[in-house]
Chain A
Amino acid sequence: MSVSALETKRLEAVLKGDEEVEVVGTGTDAVAYALMLADVDVTSAYPIRPYGGVMQTVARLIADGYMKAEYIVAAHEHDQFEIVKHASAVGARTFVGSSGVGWLLAIEAIVAISTDRYPVVALIGNRALDDPGAYGVEHNDALMVRDVGWLLVWVDTAQEALDTTLIAYRVAEDPRVMLPVGISMDGAFLTHSEHVFKIPPKKKVQQFLPPYDLGNRKLHPSNVISVAPQVNEDWVTEIRKQMDEAMKNARKVIEEAYRDFAKIFGRDYGNPFVEPYMVEDADVVMVGMGTVSKPIKEAVRRLRAKGERVGFLRIRWFRPFPTEDIIRYLSGVKVVAVVDRDYSFGSPFDGGAVFTEIRSALYETDHRPLMMNFIGGLGGREITYNDAINMFNMALEAARKSKVEQRVIWYGVRE
């Protein structure tokens, strides 16, 4: 399969010209184009849906000569993540990705990537964990690594996927950070749906993204170092502390990256960490991650037209967690309703992971809102516009009564 004449023309325009071009493609296509622009050196692939689309597009871009990269087909996901870890250690810009249980099969290598401090960028096509088998989206796969030093970001359009991939390399490879980034993309809803998006010219990407430089940590015969040693209790606390600092630094680095991105590409995402939607003077704010934003925003628009004071806050960066923004936007709101496309069995109040984290962040505020949690959309079940309206109505009811009758609601579960 080779690219069409039209696509050839467009790709040549972005690689050689000064203007961006508009194309139609899936969320994973958008990421692949970003990898082409970022001059990724090594990518290792192992098929699993819904992440797999990016493999196909990258393979095609390499085969047709638009991208120069080592494309290594791994034996399995653990192999796949080990390959990029080692490639990153010798100074290659790397890309990798997986979904659901594939991501978890690689977990040992995934943790070593962050603890060894290699700025790998991974695409997680969010998928429910087996068993029972399901191809659809759930966020538990990516959330499994929330505590081990991976930066985690959720996107909701193909354009944002492309832009965030470029930003991810810039943030990950910053000497103040040097941590891997996991870009989460809702399986099917974004990985496989077609969007119109713009591919920026490579010249601008080169302005935005400096070359990958590991400095004195580059494994090379002329720079003799040992990496990943056995250090036990003498060193482990200090090495974890370094990661803690890097993760805290990431907040500043992310802000800088979005600011420069807006300057160079002319697309301004506003607040990098969260996307507030009609939250001013809102009594009820829904919070969610990923493509659930689409039906919820539509519901917000219609309810606002009817005079209801509702809003929506989409979390982009889950790690580092946007604590200050959560406090700024949600303190003083009457009811905060968190939509979790995940579960955290046995967690505080038996809620979802996002709910629990937001609740924890809001503990410090003077005006704590009432909090509700909708666990929904599991295994790829759709959350529709009507569902969003229903959820808002339940939250508005709680706001009127100033009381939450049921804190955690398994939305749409069949009795």
Chain B
Amino acid sequence: MKRYLGNLDKPEERVNRALEAYQSLTKLREVKPGEGLPYKYEPPHLPGWKDMMIGGAIPGLKPNQRNPYFTGGTAKHYRPVINFDKCIKCSLCWEYCPDSVFDVTPDGYFNPALAYCKGCGICAEVCPVPDTIIMVDEMEFEDGYGKFLDEYRAWKENREAYRKWFESLLPKAQVISVRKR
């Protein structure tokens, strides 16, 4: 592979990219029976023609209403991690989030309900404070489907541990607020 890539233009960059891709794949592992999260298939409710709105119209989600059919949080490749120490409570993430993922905490912070997050990264893009919202590869985390980490609570419980954890994620972040990638 190295020999092949070495004959093309920008050989170093190509080799590095290939290595990066390979390493991200080696993180994948086989999930053994019984190991995953409990999941029971429930066929979707299909209404009859008399019960449907005409013309295929569908009642939409009200502002600030979350999609009740999407609670697994499985769509995202990256998740937002919030540095609450730096947050200025401007509410832009809450305002812009297309899936109304952010819960307002009693002291005015914005805590992402990761089960509803699609990983779009708009929150990190609009956050005006450097290094405050970062988008990190989902592969970095062990929690998932249905039971996600509560970032705000983790921060409240142990600020020092949260700060260290956040700093360990910072070099791996794909999108970092204010900073260019």
Contacts and interface: CB of A to CB of B under 8 A. Distances in A.
Interface of A: 115-118, 178, 216-217, 224-229, 231, 234-235, 237-239, 241-242, 245-246
B49 interface: yes
A115 B55 contact: yes
20 contacts: A116-B56, A118-B55, A178-B54, A216-B53, A217-B53, A217-B54, A217-B55, A224-B60, A225-B59, A227-B56, A227-B58, A229-B58, A231-B56, A234-B44, A234-B46, A235-B52, A238-B52, A239-B54, A242-B49, A246-B54
Interface band, chain B: 10 to 19
Nearest to A216: B53
Nearest to B53: A217
Contacts of B56: 115-116, 227-229, 231, 235, 239
Contact of A239 (B55, B59, B60): B55
Interface in B78-117: none
A242 B59 contact: no
Contacts of B44: 234
Interface in B2-54: 44, 46-49, 52-54
A226 B57 CA distance: 6
A227 B57 contact: yes
Contacts of B1: none
Given A216-B53, A217-B53, A238 B47 contact: yes
Interface in B99-154: none
Contacts of A239: 49, 52, 54-56
Nearest to B49: A238
B100 to A, nearest CB: 13
B181 interface: no
A376 B54 CA distance: 40
Contacts of A242: 49, 52, 54-55
Contacts of A245: 49
Contacts of B55: 115-118, 178, 217, 227-228, 239, 242
B62 interface: yes
Interface string B51-78: 0111111111111000000000000000
Nearest to B44: A234
Contact of B53 (A224, A225, A246): A225
A224 B67 CA distance: 13
Contacts of A118: 55
A226 B52 contact: no
Contacts of B61: 224
A225 B60 CA distance: 4
Contacts of A229: 56, 58
A221 to B, nearest CB: 9
Contacts of B49: 237-239, 241-242, 245
Contact of B48 (A217, A224, A238): A238
Interface centre among B49, B53, B54, by most chain A C-beta atoms within 10 angstroms, is B54
Nearest to B55: A117
A227 B60 CA distance: 9
Given A178-B55, A225-B60, A229-B56, 18 more contacts: A115-B55, A117-B54, A117-B55, A217-B57, A224-B59, A224-B63, A225-B58, A226-B60, A227-B57, A229-B58, A235-B56, A239-B55, A239-B56, A241-B49, A242-B49, A242-B52, A242-B55, A246-B54
Q: Which are the 10 A-B pairs with shortest beta-carbon distances?
A: A117-B55, A224-B60, A238-B49, A226-B58, A241-B49, A116-B55, A227-B57, A117-B54, A239-B56, A225-B60
A118 B49 CA distance: 18
A150 to B, nearest CB: 14
Nearest to B48: A238
Nearest to A237: B49
A291 to B, nearest CB: 34
Interface centre among B48, B53, B59, B62, by most chain A C-beta atoms within 10 angstroms, is B53
A265 to B, nearest CB: 30
Contacts of A178: 54-55
A18 B165 CA distance: 81
